[in-house]
Amino acid sequence: MPVPLLDLRAQHARIRDRVVAAMMQVVDDQAFILGKPVSDLEAHVAALSHTTYAVGCASGTDALLLSLRAVDVGAGDEVITTPFTFFATAGTIHNVGARAVFVDIDPKTFNIRPDLAAAAVTSKTKAIIPVDLFGQVASIEEVMRLAKGIPVIEDAAQSIGARRKIDGVWRMAGEVATIGTFSFFPSKNLGGYGDGGMMVTQDKALYDRLMRLRTHGSVKTYFHEEVGYNSRLDALQAAVLCAKLPFLVEWSAKRREHAAIYDAAFADLGDVTTPYVDPANESIYNQYTIRVPRRDALKAHLAAKGIGHSVYYPLPLHLQECFASLGYTQGACPESERAANEVLSLPVYPELTRAQLDDVVAAVRGFYGK
């Protein structure tokens, strides 16, 4: 039997009654925009993230967009970020009129190198966006320290519920940054049944600004202090997410369990570099991503065996056609470029059975003749 990279139907089957009941409540109430499901979810996510405030919005992309606006990033400004991430991290920088400044990653964690971010700061730098790639929190305390007051927007789209021990205290994804952003895209660890996103912060002024930005820059209906967006979190999505949230801790633990099984099973394969998790971190493994020299050959082998896999991400953002005008060329971020050629993500979702895990292991080992 083929093993998919992600099986959302397996998850849905286990929680169907709860989720459908929550959705039907919204349908019966005919209250689709904001309201109790959204404020409930905001309270739950703020509690999970150890933050005072949370603001739901239409997507993880919009969470970045609204956050950039909330810290006053606009035309002519620079925002420092990593090129080894999903497109939205930099696309939103462009869409607020600013310039994305790409700095390279740590090859072990795939996360931004704080020292390189610090070295790229200029008088135009208005924000830094580290990404918690694949479910592992970036060196957020280092980025914050070196940012010296420049706002830090933590793209935590892949890391909701992940944590990092800083000075002996567990800090949650999104907790330490100026603003943390989450995505509820269906394939994220906490996925909705459609698009959704959220921003968390400890700062009341930023909270007020984010609330205003998501409703056309208006606090009092039909009076607009600034031009914002229509970027509300749908009540149906919030109801689904409220029903799913109680399972998140268990699901993340399952992903870690599966990662540990792979780590052990691939330990003797010299060509396979298993994911490195910083000892300070507890990853939620949004992806289980190995590095291998003959990546495309392994990819073809897994495809032939029916084993789901994907390359996140095949082309770093500094080399994307749409950013050609920024002037980056091959070699500008060598570790990101090398990672793009070597990474391969394997199925790690919580509902994988032991037999499925064994199939993935056998297929990978088989490629190396083991």
254 close to 105: Cβ distance less than 8 angstroms: no
Question: CA-CA distance, 316 to 89, in Å (whole number)?
Answer: 12
CB of 183 to ligand PLP, least distance (A): 3
Smallest CA-to-CA distance from 209 within 169, 151, 155 is with: 151
Q: Which stretch binds ligand PLP (CB under 6 A): 20-28, 155-163, 166-174, 213-221?
A: 155-163
User: Angle, nearest 10°, between helix axes 235-244 and 36-48?
Assistant: 40
Element (H, E) at 262: helix 248-265
CB of 190 to ligand PLP, least distance (A): 11
Q: Using the minimum distance from each CB to ligand PLP, give the nearer residue, 192 or 347.
A: 192
Give DSSP secondary structure letters for 301-359: HHHHHTB--B-S-SS-GGG-GGGGGG---TTSSHHHHHHHHHEEEE---TT--HHHHHH
Question: CA-CA distance, 200 to 240, in Å (whole number)?
Answer: 19
User: Angle, nearest 10°, between helix axes 204-214 and 60-70?
Assistant: 120
Q: Using the minimum distance from each CB to ligand PLP, give the nearer residue, 159 or 201.
A: 159
Phi, psi of 341 (to 5 degrees): -90, -15
CB of 138 to ligand PLP, least distance (A): 11
Q: Which stretch binds ligand PLP (CB under 6 A): 8-16, 47-55, 85-93, 357-365?
A: 85-93
CB of 89 to ligand PLP, least distance (A): 5
Options 157, 173, 259, 361; binder of ligand PLP; rule CB under 6 A = 157
Residue 139 touches ligand PLP, criterion: CB under 6 A:
no
Q: Which amino acid is at 332?
A: A
Options 26, 55, 79, 88; binder of ligand PLP; rule CB under 6 A = 88
Residue 195 touches ligand PLP, criterion: CB under 6 A:
yes
Options 185, 251, 313, 328; binder of ligand PLP; rule CB under 6 A = 185
Q: Which stretch binds ligand PLP (CB under 6 A): 80-88, 94-102, 246-254, 273-281?
A: 80-88
Question: CA-CA distance, 354 to 356, in Å (whole number)?
Answer: 5
CB of 96 to ligand PLP, least distance (A): 15
Smallest CA-to-CA distance from 230 within 32, 62, 27 is with: 62
Question: CA-CA distance, 234 to 33, in Å (whole number)?
Answer: 6
Total residues binding ligand PLP (CB under 6 A): 15
Q: Which stretch binds ligand PLP (CB under 6 A): 153-161, 202-210, 226-234, 274-282?
A: 153-161
CB of 60 to ligand PLP, least distance (A): 2
Options 49, 82, 158, 231; binder of ligand PLP; rule CB under 6 A = 158
CB of 105 to ligand PLP, least distance (A): 13
CB of 223 to ligand PLP, least distance (A): 29
251 close to 245: Cβ distance less than 8 angstroms: no
Options 49, 51, 61, 356; binder of ligand PLP; rule CB under 6 A = 61
Q: Which stretch binds ligand PLP (CB under 6 A): 83-91, 161-169, 171-179, 329-337?
A: 83-91
Question: CA-CA distance, 236 to 37, in Å (whole number)?
Answer: 8
CB of 134 to ligand PLP, least distance (A): 9
Q: Ramachandran region of residue 105, left (φ > 0), alpha (ψ -120 to 50) or beta?
A: beta
Residue 89 touches ligand PLP, criterion: CB under 6 A:
yes
Smallest CA-to-CA distance from 104 within 267, 292, 331, 264 is with: 331
Question: CA-CA distance, 110 to 316, in Å (whole number)?
Answer: 12
Residue 240 touches ligand PLP, criterion: CB under 6 A:
no
Give the binding site for ligand PLP (CB under 6 A): 59-61, 85-86, 88-89, 131, 155, 157-158, 183, 185, 195, 197
